[in-house]
Amino acid sequence: MRNWDYRYCWLRDATFTLLALGGAGYADEARAWRDWLMRAVAGSPEQMQIMYGLGGERRLPEWEADWLPGFEMAQPVRIGNAAASQMQLDVYGEIADAMFQARQKGMPASARSGAIGRVLMDYLESHWNQPDEGIWEVRGPRQHFTHSKVMAWVAFDRAVKAVEQLGVDGPLERWAALRDRIHAEVCHKGFDAGLNSFVQAYGSTVLDASLLLLPLVGFLPADDPRIQGTLAAIERRLMADGLVFRYDTGRTDDGLPPGEGAFLACSLWYADNLILADRMAEAREMFERVLALRNDVGLLAEEYDPRAGRQMGNFPQAFSHVALVNTALNLTRREGPAEERSGEAEGDVSGAGEETRLRA
């Protein structure tokens, strides 16, 4: 049963929240979270976890309370979360991007955060090419997940931009060379020409909704044929009843029984892709569809079961609400979070869109 203890702080979810807060102008919250992060990840980079307790606790052992029935007999009821010990390479990219975006929005520099950031980049240099458990925290074998490699690219891309645009000290040429190397590898190994789509992992033919994040983080521009092909493939194979599923659980070795609901954050990432593709009417339709799923006090769960017509999974789920906020900003602003993160905002000095065309 996909039934997990979510009473913790995932660095990935927190950076998504930070980006949403920054986009809405909440600079104090962004600075407070950075300070929390610096305390939580203190120590060697090998010891950095993908989640912590709210007070920065590291020990989150998982065990099963077999005497508890769970909601509607959803068993086993798990206490703690073993994913705390997983390797999830995308977290490094999320942190680098969140810190870069916050600095661009005026957050003061911190000597301590700069030093920790440099150590984390040094660690990523020697670990980006390893398989990991990925954004969905699979409990099957580690794989070379395409999204994880893309977020390693994001980490080096933002590090390069921090040197070039913010005056941060760092080995510019080495980081730029690694960025280009990762980009070329992903385009070669993470794209299936037969499907005309990026795929879940190197050598796989499975689709994954995390691929919707590629244009949102600036890996390739939204009008690139490979991105458009990926969007079309996800529309064909991962959409049902107007919502997006994470991946085909029957074809993914995630260590769990098959079957789950549509993932609401993925449905909103799909809407963000439609916005970047200038398919505004369809994007607004998806946004309104997700809005209509809220309960009587406006809250969303992690997933939705189209067959049963009900929300399911962790509730309430920050991932869903943060994605909702970002899509709302994307719909109502000329330059929303999708444009800002991807480097496609008007007046962007990085030239990210052109760079990625040339590197591919």
Which stretches within 192-260 are classed as H helix? Answer: 213-216, 225-237
Task: Choose between 266 and 348: higher pLDDT.
Answer: 266
Following DSSP, what letter does each residue of 134-186 receive, concatenated?
TTTT-SS--B-BHHHHHHHHHHHHHHHHHHHHH---S-HHHHHHHHHHHHHHH
Q: Do 161 and 350 form a contact (C-beta atoms < 8 A)? A: yes
Instruction: Give ∠ CA 21-27-33 in degrees, rounded to 5.
Output: 75
The pLDDT, as a whole number, for residue 89 is 87
pLDDT band at 92 (very low <50, low <70, confident <90, very high): confident
Radius of gyration (C-alpha) of the chain in whole angstroms = 19
Element (H, E) at 312: strand 310-312
CA distances from 330 to 52, 170, 264, 346 (A): 30, 33, 17, 14
The pLDDT, as a whole number, for residue 357 is 32
pLDDT band at 305 (very low <50, low <70, confident <90, very high): confident
Q: Which of 68-72, 201-205, 238-242, 248-252 has the highest mean pLDDT?
A: 201-205
Domain ranges of the chain: 191-346
**pLDDT above 90 as % of the chain:** 31
The token pair at 203 is 């050598």
Residues 120-138 have pLDDT tens digits of 888 888 889 999 988 888 7
Alpha-carbon distance of 23 to 209, in angstroms, equals 23
Alpha-carbon distance of 322 to 327, in angstroms, equals 9
pLDDT at 8 over 90: no
- Which amino acid is residue 7, in one-letter code? R
Q: What are phi and psi of 135, to 5 degrees?
A: -60, -30
pLDDT at 118 over 50: yes
Between the two ends of the chain, the Cα-to-Cα distance in Å is 41
Residues 65-87 have pLDDT tens digits of 889 887 777 778 888 777 777 87
pLDDT at 5 over 70: yes
Kindly report which listed range (40-44, 213-217, 334-338) carries the lowest average pLDDT score. Answer: 334-338
Q: Which of 72-76, 110-114, 117-121, 323-327 has the highest mean pLDDT?
A: 323-327
Element (H, E) at 305: strand 303-305
Torsion of CA 158, 11, 260, 280, to 10 degrees: -40
CA distances from 117 to 37, 41, 290 (A): 11, 10, 36
Task: Choose between 278 and 337: higher pLDDT.
Answer: 278
Q: Is 319 left (phi over 0), alpha (psi -120 to 50) or beta?
A: alpha
Q: Which 8-state DSSP code applies to residue 200?
A: S
pLDDT at 40 over 90: no
Q: What is the pTM of this model?
A: 0.85
Alpha-carbon distance of 47 to 166, in angstroms, equals 28
pLDDT band at 347 (very low <50, low <70, confident <90, very high): very low
pLDDT at 94 over 90: no
Length of the chain: 360
The token pair at 180 is 């280009």
C-alpha 316, offset from chain centre? 18
pLDDT at 275 over 50: yes
Q: For 176-182, what is the mean pLDDT?
A: 94
CATH class of segment(s) 191-346: mainly alpha
pLDDT band at 230 (very low <50, low <70, confident <90, very high): very high
Element (H, E) at 10: strand 9-10
Q: Do 54 and 8 form a contact (C-beta atoms < 8 A)? A: yes
Task: Choose between 337 and 27: higher pLDDT.
Answer: 27
Query: Three-state SS for 111?
Result: helix
Q: Which of 102-116, 163-177, 185-199 has the highest mean pLDDT?
A: 185-199
Q: Do 212 and 201 form a contact (C-beta atoms < 8 A)? A: no
CA distances from 340 to 24, 233, 276 (A): 13, 26, 11
